[in-house]
Structure 1
Amino acid sequence: MKIKTILFVIICTMWLVACDSTRETINTIEIQELINFEEEKPDTLQLISDVKDIKIIEKTFKKAREFGEVDNQIVPQYKIKLSDGEYYLWIDHTKTGTIANIKSRNMFYNIRASEEFKEAINYKNK
């Protein structure tokens, strides 16, 4: 009986280690200011590598709530590259923002644009 228990614990441990190692770790997030949907503003690329800032940005994006499809012509302020894709970001002085995956830019998601998030992306209220 002891051998079965030990074997079970070893298998479970190996499985947990394997699952954890497949999780992708983001080392850098790229943020670029935009002129229009296709054109980036020169000399505005930011590489966010601070672990705390990366976690804040990831958490904000993961908590995004679907708003729905909108035929939008308003140019986003930023393009953000995460491990799971590229996103447009519309943000202002309020506590909310909007994101859309570049591949489906008419499907909008609302985010909570906390001061912590704004600091993490170096947002400047314009």
Structure 2
Amino acid sequence: MNIKKGIILMICSLWLVACNDTKETTTIEIQELINFEDVRPDTFQTISDAKDIKIIEKTIKKAREFGEVDNEIVPQYKIKINDDEYYLWIDQTVTGTIANVNERNMFYNILATDEFKEAIHYPNDK
């Protein structure tokens, strides 16, 4: 009976460690782009406000696959969250588009709410 308890305890411990292994995001980096490779000078920003980070992460997690598109339109932003980097196309509408930097032709639609735009410091006059 002790061996069963030991095995169960070990499995539960490993499960808890695996669940706690996710990285907590403490900063998000955003920079405006000139083209897919070059960043616009003096536009780098670091977002460290926990509420803004949560809004940005939630928006990206809720992205819906749009599909693969052969796109040459330059994104406005590059966003780095932990080890992931995304291109972001956004305007005054309530929708935006993201693509993972490593799969730049696979597009995902996001809901670009006012709350999201405020979190990334998107200017109202664009």
Query: Aligned residue for 1:86?
Result: 85
Aligned pairs (5 A) from 1:32-71: 32-71=31-70
> Once structures 1 and 2 are overlaid, which stretch shifts more, 80-89 or 96-105?
80-89
Secondary structure, counterpart of 1:94 in structure 2: coil
Quote the Cα distance in structure 2 between the aligned partners of 1:119 and 1:20: 31
Aligned to 2:101: 102
Give secondary structure in 2 for the equivalent of 1:22: coil
Give the whole-Å Cα distance in 2 for the aligned partners of 1:21 and 1:94.
Answer: 37
Percent identity over paired residues: 64
Structure 1 unaligned spans of 5+: none
Tell me the SS of whatever aligns to 2:20: helix
Letter of the structure 1 residue corresponding to residue 120 of structure 2: I
Counterpart Cα distance in 1 of 2:98 and 2:8: 43
- 1: CA distance between counterparts of 2:37 and 2:74? 10
Distance in 2 between the 1:73 and 1:117 partners?
Answer: 25
Runs of 4+ in structure 1 deviating by more than 4 angstroms, as ranges, are 6-13
Instruction: State the distance in 2 between where 1:74 and 1:55 align.
Output: 28
> 1:26 maps to which residue?
25
Most deviating of 33-42 and 19-28: 19-28
Instruction: Report the 3-state secondary structure (helix = DSSP H, G, I; strand = E; otherwise coil) of the residue aligned with 2:57.
Output: helix
- In angstroms, what is the RMSD of aligned CA positions? 2.0
Deviation at 1:17, TM superposition (A): 3.8
Aligned-partner Cα distance in 2 for 1:107–1:10:
43
Equivalent residues, number: 125
